[in-house]
């Protein structure tokens, strides 16, 4: 893990974004981690007004919020998952954007496990 100041993060965030890999900021409360991300998105929106951003507090999520609700397909009689609308949707949020997951270290273990699937596999159940 590399240690950086927020000023350094501001300079590397654009190139980190292009890698499409998750980035984890860790620091004390009120140190402008979220603000740094919001400013990055503001800059992106100057070029692309449809650039989206969703800001989720992992500590306030329930496992069902992350995985979705089970349902049974009446035609196939097979159960599946209906994802909740808390995650990005291209129609609603645009093709490009940032999903900011805050307070990961305070999330319930089951929520964190599901979010790891999203972070590392870029999917959760039926949501991709």
d(CA 58, CA 77) in angstroms, rounded, equals 33
Please report which residue ranges of 48-101 form alpha helices under DSSP H. Answer: 63-67, 90-93
d(CA 12, CA 127) in angstroms, rounded, equals 29
Global pTM exceeds 0.85? no
What pLDDT sits at residue 101?
92
Model confidence over 25-81: pLDDT tens digits?
A: 888 888 888 999 999 999 999 999 989 899 999 999 998 888 888 899 999 999 988
CB 88 within 8 A of CB 99: yes
Domain positions in the chain: 6-121
Render the burial of 78-101: b for 16+ CB within 10 Å, e for the rest. Answer: eeeeebbeebbeeeebbeebbbbb
């Amino acid at each position: 893990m590399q240690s950086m100041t927020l000023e350094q993060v501001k300079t590397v965030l654009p190139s980190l974004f292009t890698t499409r890999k998750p980035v984890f900021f860790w620091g004390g409360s009120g140190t402008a981690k979220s603000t740094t991300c919001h400013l990055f998105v503001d800059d992106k929106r100057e070029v692309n007004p449809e650039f989206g951003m969703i800001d989720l507090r992992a500590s306030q999520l329930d496992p069902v919020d992350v995985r979705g609700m089970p349902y049974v397909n009446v035609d196939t009689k097979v159960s599946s998952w209906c994802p909740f609308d808390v995650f990005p949707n291209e129609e609603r949020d645009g093709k490009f954007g940032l999903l900011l997951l805050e307070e990961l270290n305070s999330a319930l273990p089951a929520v964190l496990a599901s979010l790891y699937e999203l972070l590392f596999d870029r999917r959760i159940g039926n949501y991709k």
